[in-house]
Structure 1
Amino acid sequence: MQEKVTFGLSHVHFATYTETDGAIVFDTPVPIPGAVEMTNEAVGDPIKFFADNMVYYQADNNQGYEGTLNIAVVPDSFKEKVLGEETDTTDGVISEYADAKTKPFALLFQFQDDIKARRHVLYSCNAQRPSLSSTTKTDSTEPNTVELTYGAGPVIIDNRPIVKASTSHSSPPAVYDGWFQTVYTKTAVTAPEGA
């Protein structure tokens, strides 16, 4: 069973992570509401080695994706956890400091298709600061949107460089239903011995 068409974007989440002694530990995914559009362009030119007046050897060079996510607004949670902005607890003001350090994160999302929505995760993303803009209200009253630009590259999980993972129509309910509760890794769903 294979889908014929894809349409729709929903359930966008982000999950920051830390690396300790070579192990990646993902935080709980946090929703990014108001997703409008997403594009992910493949990065990595093929490797070609020329000899004997021809392409003697060639191989793929998967360096991940360059992506954009168009959303209604950037959530304060994303500004703080990913972009490194700071909220003053005494007056609630969120400040962007020039020396702020961004944090890598996993990006989770869902594409609807004609059979069942397919869920995805890009494991290691780094976001750029979004532009700050707006337009005056007009008769059409069309809302403004914000575009987040990010790079999504490989990260080492289970001793292999992985860029992304997606559910399929054979994914068990435990994996599919829990997709936005924790970041999927193969070890997280490995059955214990004797199970």
Structure 2
Amino acid sequence: MATSENKVTFGLKNTHYAVITDDGTKLSYGTPAALPGSTELTLDASGDAIEFFADDVKYYSADNNQGYTGKLTIAKLTEAFEKEVLGIDDSDGVSTENASAKIKRIALMFEFDGDQKATRHLLFNVSLSRPGDGSKSKEDKVDVNTQELEFTAAPDPYTSDVKTKTNSTTTEDVYNAWYDAVFTGTSAPVAG
């Protein structure tokens, strides 16, 4: 059932991730897991315009969509995320980072609230950088620490899809199942 189109969006919530498996012909996605505590997300378009000059004029120009670069600020990464995505080893009852651990690519899902209905977003092919860490002494008030994940959301190498989101015509079935499995363009999301 279609709703009215949002006039404004605000807020950030319901951040989820799904680990990618690449078999060389398609990307498949694990079951989405919640990543609570998101405080800010930025997405900057990536890819320079293509311009070709001939006959003393701009003869041809086109957009070169290479996805996005971005940053997700979160209260604290979950231990499950550190293990599943960042490759942290917790086998000895402590969390150990190893220099040879490989960070896995993920699909990143989140939503912005709106004046009519929240818009749910999905980035299909996200590569992350290792997050930093730090803290400072408490003073007369406590400042809560956050962690930042810098990332690149590249086009899917097999479909060229970069990002998708719900809109005013999204069916209730698709909207309600958004975080159950990564949406792949079928009538309902499918797990990989």
User: Please, what TM-score do these two structures have when normalized by structure 1?
Assistant: 0.91
- Counterpart CA distance in 1 for 2:139 and 2:176 is 42
**What is the distance in 1 between the residues matched to 2:36 and 2:162?**
24
Percent sequence identity is 42
Alpha-carbon offset, residue 31 of structure 1: 0.6
**1:75 matches 2:78:** yes
| Farther off after superposition, 135-144 or 94-103 | 135-144
Say whether residues 1:162 and 2:154 are aligned partners: no
Question: 2:63 matched to 1:60?
Answer: yes
Higher-strand-fraction structure: 1
The equivalent residue for 1:193 is none
C-alpha distance after superposition, 1:104-132 (max 9, x if no partner)? 10000000011100000000001111111
Kindly indicate whether structure 1 or structure 2 has the higher relative contact order, using CA contacts under 8 Å at least 6 residues apart.
2
Q: 2:9 aligns with which of 6, 11, 24?
A: 6
Judged with a 3 Å threshold, the aligned counterparts in structure 2 of structure 1 residues 4 and 188 are, in CA distance, closer, same or farther, namely closer
Asked if the contact 2:112–2:120 (Cα under 8 Å) also holds between the matched residues in 1, the reply is yes
Q: Aligned equivalents of 1:19 and 1:130: distance in 2?
A: 24
Q: Secondary structure at the match of 2:7?
A: coil
Q: What is the aligned residue count?
A: 186
2:147 paired residue number: 146
Aligned ranges 1:37-52 → 2 under 5 Å: 37-52=40-55
Runs ≥4 in structure 1, deviation > 6 angstroms? none
Unmatched tracts of structure 2, length 5 or more: none
Unaligned 5+ segments in structure 1 are: 191-195
Determine which of 36, 39, 47 is the counterpart of 2:39: 36
Superposed displacement of residue 62, structure 1: 0.4
Aligned pairs (5 A) from 1:84-123: 84-88=87-91, 91-123=92-124
